[in-house]
Amino acid sequence: MEQSINLLSSKFSADKVSESSLNYLKQFPIDVLKIDQSFIKEIPKNEKDMAITTTVIHLGKSLGLEVIAEGVENQNQVEFLAEAKCHKIQGYYYSKPLPALEIEERYLVKKK
């Protein structure tokens, strides 16, 4: 079963870290571990969120997974996640969600 799943898709993601998603890490060929914005939004004010986030990053890296932090909104969060060596960061700090056409025009099409 594991091989057939990998043939259908190149990447699987455990989107929200919870007891059930941690169990998926054992059962399925997960490639990406996402940290929910609920853990990110109070960084650096909430030490428990910082500890949980650091632990999830370490867990993901120990399992050979790519780790993505969602909902990053300020420089303090970016600095914390960079120091914790989180692989990827996404959120309003960089950009609001954009339509595909706008992404293509801004970042992919060369201007003449």
**Alpha-carbon gap, residue 89 to 105, rounded angstroms:** 22
**Alpha-carbon gap, residue 82 to 89, rounded angstroms:** 9
Q: Read off the pLDDT of residues 49-64 as tens digits, 9 standing for 90 and up.
A: 999 999 999 999 999 9
Q: Which CATH number fits domain 2-108: 3.40.309.10, 3.40.50.620, 3.20.20.450, 1.10.3720.10?
A: 3.20.20.450
Predicted confidence at residue 17, as pLDDT, reads: 56
pLDDT band at 18 (very low <50, low <70, confident <90, very high): low
- Print burial letters for 71-88: b (CB count within 10 Å at least 16), e (below 16): bbeeeebbebbeebebee
